[in-house]
Amino acid sequence: MSFTRHLLAVILLSSKTLFASELVMAISNGSGMPMTDIRDEQLRGGILKELGDALGAQLHLQPRYLVLPRTRVEGALLRGHADLLCDLRPEWLDNQTFLWTDAIISNRMIVAMRRETPAPTSLDAIAGLRVGTVRGYRYPEVAHLQLQILRDNAANDSQNLEKLLLGRFDLIFTNRIYFDYQRKVHPERARLADHNLKITDFDTFCAVPARGKLGIEELNRAIAALKARGTIQSILARYRPHEPH
């Protein structure tokens, strides 16, 4: 073998080893803090980064984060560009061949509003209204209202909240972890209501392709180990705003 061919073989082998030692998590750019702190198209912090870092350490893999539009994260997993997606549910995705881990994060879907807006008495009460939503997000829990509400799509959670504060609409579909965090840190937090309409409690999971690098049992063992040590609970607690005494 010539020196050039030998060098090329070494480079290719090194590249395969490098990619095999990575844990690539696809991240939707539609989410915001406390889930994701995305700046310059890079994941800089947040719950999902800490979770990915912890999973990588547990699996002895180097975490890497691929930030994509919500409509492209599923394709990244299918084409092998990413190893897993997290903070999702099966009914939120088109592909039904993915394997799903045990539950990781518990959350609540809510209708949120500004302080001066009263909470709707029921979901049926919002029929016919304009509601703030995020482009590419599915809301199966309110599917029976999809033809009766006017979705006003924003690019991400942060833009959705800003449009609410600007009075573009009076209500948004969001989740409690996100909205409670914003009620404590947002510059206009005093204008965000501490009342809301509960839609449903839900858990989220991580998805992996059926023939992916990570086996679902291996991933579940890693998640169980992190839970047993209190790692996941500690991550969530760090981003849970403390109520004033």
pLDDT by residue (tens digit) across 31-46? Answer: 899 999 999 999 999 9
- Which one has a higher pLDDT value, 212 or 241? 212
pLDDT tens string 170-228: 999 999 999 999 999 999 999 999 999 999 999 999 999 998 999 999 999 999 999 99
How many CA atoms lie less than 13 Å away from 39 in the CB half-sphere?
5
CATH domain 3-105+204-238 topology: D-Maltodextrin-Binding Protein; domain 2 (3.40.190)
Confidence at residue 153, expressed as pLDDT on a 0 to 100 scale:
95
Give the tokens for residue 134. 């995020």
Is-contact 129 173, C-beta < 8 A?
no
Please check whether the two domains, 3-105+204-238 and 107-201, share a CATH topology: yes
SS3 (DSSP) at 83:
coil
Is-contact 205 154, C-beta < 8 A?
no
Residue position matching structure tokens 């518990």: 106
Helices 231-238 + 47-59 axis angle, to 10: 160
Confidence at residue 5, expressed as pLDDT on a 0 to 100 scale:
56
Between the alpha carbon of residue 220 and those of residues 59, 152, 195, 206, 226, the distances in Å are 11, 37, 36, 10, 10
The residue extents of the domains of the chain are: 3-105+204-238, 107-201
d(CA 132, CA 111): 9
d(CA 103, CA 220): 9
pTM of the model: 0.85
CATH superfamily of 107-201: Periplasmic binding protein-like II (3.40.190.10)
- Which one has a higher pLDDT value, 20 or 181? 181
Question: pLDDT grade, residue 144 (50/70/90)?
Answer: confident
User: In sequence order, what are the beta bridge partners of 66?
Assistant: 26
d(CA 162, CA 155): 11
SS3 (DSSP) at 39:
strand
Is-contact 3 11, C-beta < 8 A?
no
